[in-house]
Amino acid sequence: MLAVLVALAAMGCGARRGETSTPTATPRATTGQPRAYRMGFSALPTTLTDQAQQDAFDLGAKYGDVLLLQKPVAWSEFAAGGTPSTKTRMQTASERDHAQARGLHLFIALDPFDPADRGRLASPPAGSETRDLSDPSLRSALVAQAKYVAINYKPTYLAIGVEVNGTYERNPTQYQKFVEAYREAYSAAKSASPNTMVFPTFEYEQLLGLVPWEAPHPPRWELLRDFGERSDMFAISTYPSFTYSVARKVPPDYYRQIKDQTKLPVAFASAGYASAPGRDGVNSSTPDEQRRFLQRLLGDADALASPLVIWFLRQDANHLTAPPFDLFQSIGLVDLKGINKQAWPIWESASMRPYDSSTPAKEPTPDPSSTP
């Protein structure tokens, strides 16, 4: 889930000053039918090294249009009277410059909650551990950082709140205070960067009540109404291999049913499907099933005229070993040795299609490689 990224962000992952020379953007050759969606990966590196972090930018530009960077809220730096640290300002400049040099669009996800327990804030200042976003200092920090990101990154996409329905499930009061703070942060970000698409993200399997280790419940579509006109897209993270053992068991209308619930563009803020079994019977999948799901996902993105498709990991990461992060070990389209999995050619082919935001919704042409 997108929550994995915030733990790595706290460790300082991201492009840094002092790297090798920054490349000049080289346009990709394009072929095939246009696509309405921009596509890309998260910046989570394969290994926790500077070179791997730079590779995330290089390969993101080679095989996509967008790079996802997730940020925890720096409460002390952005509280009233606070100042962004030198480290924060340097990292901002570095990430922005590396993306611009490669022609990458940025998707920044600002996450105020603890990935291990979305009912509480992540690393709040001492003495604020039990508080929520009704606290004026905490709320002002979230709003100020959203504005800072909008001004200094000018991202194409900005998520304020990650998998926010998880907060609703854990702590409804915390969720309601977040919704109030979000509205203020949305206005601040849009005033600073009107062309940035601003929205929260939802974890789709959890929204539908399908997470196998949680109590089932009816779909929580009503949560979409909490954001009203202050959401430019309906953005989801989705990992159906946690729920469906094979891709062919994912219902035909699994994603297309969203259009019955909202008129907003449907964005895939982070998606993935395992290519190997996981612990406790989770992700009982294979490379074949991952390939089938990716082809299905891109087909649904065409049918929905989605504006954005992010695959969580381009390559498997060797540091995702501790629970719950270990469930993501095989979600990459390339294995730890750098060998392409069966799904990789599907992604590479889609990345070569020309991007055109005016492309209408359409049923994709069947691809012979999708057959079992």
| Contact present, 189 and 150 (Cβ < 8 Å) | yes
Residue 134's CB: how many other CB atoms inside 10 A?
14
| Contact present, 331 and 275 (Cβ < 8 Å) | yes
Going from the N-terminus, what domains does the chain have, and what CATH number goes with each?
A: 3-12+32-370 (3.20.20.80)
The helix or strand, by DSSP H or E, that contains position 120, with its residue range, turns out to be: strand 117-121
The owner of tokens 């290994």 is 47
What pLDDT is attached to residue 82?
86
What pLDDT is attached to residue 14?
52
What pLDDT is attached to residue 299?
97
For CA atoms 53, 55, 61, 64, the dihedral sign is negative
- Beta strand ranges found along 206-358 (DSSP E): 234-238, 266-271, 308-311
d(CA 91, CA 95): 6
What pLDDT is attached to residue 18?
44
Return the ∠ at Cα 325 (arms to 322 and 329), rounded to 5°: 100
d(CA 211, CA 206): 5
Q: Is the peptide bond before 360 cis (omega within 30 degrees of 0)?
A: no
- DSSP states along 9-71: HHTT-S--TT-SPPPPP-PPP--SS-BS-EEEEE---SSSSHHHHHHHHHHHHHS-SEEEEEE
Alpha helix segments (H runs only) across 63-201: 75-78, 86-102, 136-153, 164-170, 172-192
What Cα–Cα distance (Å) separates residue 91 from each residue in 48, 71, 75, 264, 319? 16, 11, 17, 32, 22
pLDDT in tens, the chain (372 residues): 555 554 554 444 555 544 444 566 677 889 999 999 999 999 988 888 888 888 999 999 999 999 999 999 999 999 988 899 999 999 999 999 999 999 999 999 999 999 889 999 999 999 999 999 999 999 999 999 999 999 999 999 999 999 999 999 999 999 999 999 999 999 999 999 999 999 999 999 999 999 998 999 999 999 999 999 999 999 999 999 999 988 999 999 999 999 999 999 999 999 999 998 777 666 678 999 999 999 999 999 999 999 999 999 999 988 877 777 777 888 999 999 999 999 999 999 999 999 999 999 987 555 444 444
Q: Residue 314, SS3?
A: coil
| Contact present, 147 and 181 (Cβ < 8 Å) | no
d(CA 109, CA 123): 17
| Contact present, 259 and 227 (Cβ < 8 Å) | no
| Contact present, 182 and 160 (Cβ < 8 Å) | yes
The owner of tokens 């095939």 is 32
